[in-house]
Structure 1
Amino acid sequence: MHLDTIGSHPSSFQGGIQGLINQAEMIVDLEAVRENYRRLSVMAGGADCAAVVKGDAYGHGMIPCALALGKAGANTFFVATANDGVALRAALHEEEICVLGGFLPEEREAFVGANLVPVLNSRNQIEEWEKVAGRLERPLASIIHFDTGMNRLGLLADDVAWLRQNLPLLSRIPPILYMSHLSAADDLDFDRCEFQRGAFLSAVSGLPIAKMSLANSAGTYLGADYAFDMVRPGKATFGINPLTGRPNPMVQPARVVAPIIQVKTMKRGAPVGYSSTYRLTEQAKIATVAIGYANGYSRAGSSRATVSVAGFAAQVVGRVSMDLLTVDVSGVPDWALVPGSPVEILGPHVRDHDLAKACGTIEHEVLISLGHGCARRYVNE
């Protein structure tokens, strides 16, 4: 399987043509993905470490990353939707694939046919999944999700009380895992985390014994009390810092580069880009780079974000266009400004956190947007 041809990305149609130019590209180091998983597994202690590959593996490509994580030892995978689960099942034949969005009746064939495990988030989902088990006349595994304070998906207290009164349902859809989700571990709100931990223990009290999972990426670093039987890191596997305000213990697997198309020397006072929102305060060299919001580079980075050219920082100036970015490269040597020369949009000199901050968003959105909009290439498969 050639990983660089997987997925509906700009790189997925090669047509036998070599030497494609003027293409923004995300380069994903799969060994870095595996290394992050190994580090998280160590932090998990004796607990299992699942692989959360929702959001197309946070923009890095679900199937190539899942295959790499399988090589690193992951055997339980979480996706957002049944569609993703079916796609992943085509690549992973034995591993457990769990669907965070739960189950809808019209997805019955997808779940059963691909042997997917639904994360049941409501009374209705529990009842509907139990009906499927009844029709098939065999037990179907499930995961029960408790809302302990995120106030998003999961069973609330009255749903838990109903479940305790209807325990025979669970004999037909035996839980392989009870889970909840920490809402404030990233913020180091330890009181909130401890409240949720207590609520989780209370929710599972009196239910049939099953494995338990509470910790996300940040929760994995809270210690054994939060690890339970399984941790579910997502963002940290793909290099996003799980430790707010502290050094990032993860490796950033993704680099994004785009080529210079043209360089111009512009006079003081010249406008750059649409609506003349930026005017030069002195003579400057302006490089036009082949990436824009169609490639997932946020328009919010206009005149705020920076890139790196041959290790030299360069300011984005003017508005981000659909396919183009204009950059002040006055401080960059001419030898690095030949048309076709690579510009680092994301990488060792432009970290995901810095680009996200410049765009007024979070690293997740930056990576997912760039991953969807750029061609992808994989190294260290």
Structure 2
Amino acid sequence: MNANLAGEFKDTGSMLEPRYFHCAVTTELGVLVIAGSGGIELYNSLSQEWSARAVLPVARHTCGAVILRPGVVLVAGGSDAGNALRDAQLYDVAADCWRAASPLHTPRFGHTTTLLESGRVLVVGGNNLGPSGGQVQDSVELYDPLGDLWHRQGWLPVDAMNHTATLLPDANLLVVGGFSGRQNAALANAFIYDVASGQWAPVRPMPMPLMQHTATLLLDGRVLVAGGANEPFGPAQNHACIYDPAADSWELSEMCVPRKDHTATRLAAGQVLVVGASDISNPENARTAELYDPLSGQWVLTAQMPHGRFGHSASCLPTGEVLVAGGARPISHPAPVSGAEIYTLARVSHQGASTWAGVKPSR
């Protein structure tokens, strides 16, 4: 594969607290990093500084967070000291304050949380683990911000956690893969949730089962599913496949590096930046990043991070750069880290393909 790469990671100062398996949302004030520890923080891309914000009333990780409307963030579910949460909170960005929202019907972590075009929020699957045990969920809930109410929806056809949910251009939702407790296996299943009827329909399954993968909507309406594991506690995979909703078909591809618990971020020009990995057998993979070009279908390695990580967040900045924050080192007893870096894509070219030009740093 002929490639000419020019991308770089630059340190942007550490967060105030180490955290992993947290959430990150982009607000009008900057990138808000939530959970993964007790506090929340705001990154200002103009000053390149982190600042503490009002403490989340209930600490958690592996939760869901979405921007309900400008200046208001919903955080739902998650795990606190190994126990799944029903708790949901609303955060006012400008006022820097939290207030309780109605709780979920079912406590859960490892679920997906998706803002629909209607302004409502769909929560799918997860695990309701508590002191007396728990199980992987097939339950689905819809949050109505106008009434501050959660409504039960049609059951997912299979229980799933560590799956993905992607909002499609037609406003319906694609749910792919995950882990099923009933089957004690990773899933190849794919389903579409019809927002009008509130019901699920199976679509063509993936070529292989995956959990702990990523799913990214491409500019042309297809969905890139990348990495993950094909069994519980299994090794990271380099599988990638692209789902075409119009044809109900999958196209196989392969990343340069096996990954799970990584991030995949669509850049402004349409390429996808994939960062980090959980791969104890080869910890150096956690330092790597690669780019997928939907036009050529090629994967190319780009700059390496100074330190490997997984379970981090990756957020697009107004400059076109990507903020990579937190995560954990790929060691036998991972501990959260506070480091953060900015990725800048300057130029990537393929033989016979067009040049990608990213935004230069504003610093």
The answer to whether TM tops 0.5 is no
Q: Structure 1 length normalisation: TM-score?
A: 0.27
Higher fraction of strand: 2
Q: Structure 2 length normalisation: TM-score?
A: 0.28
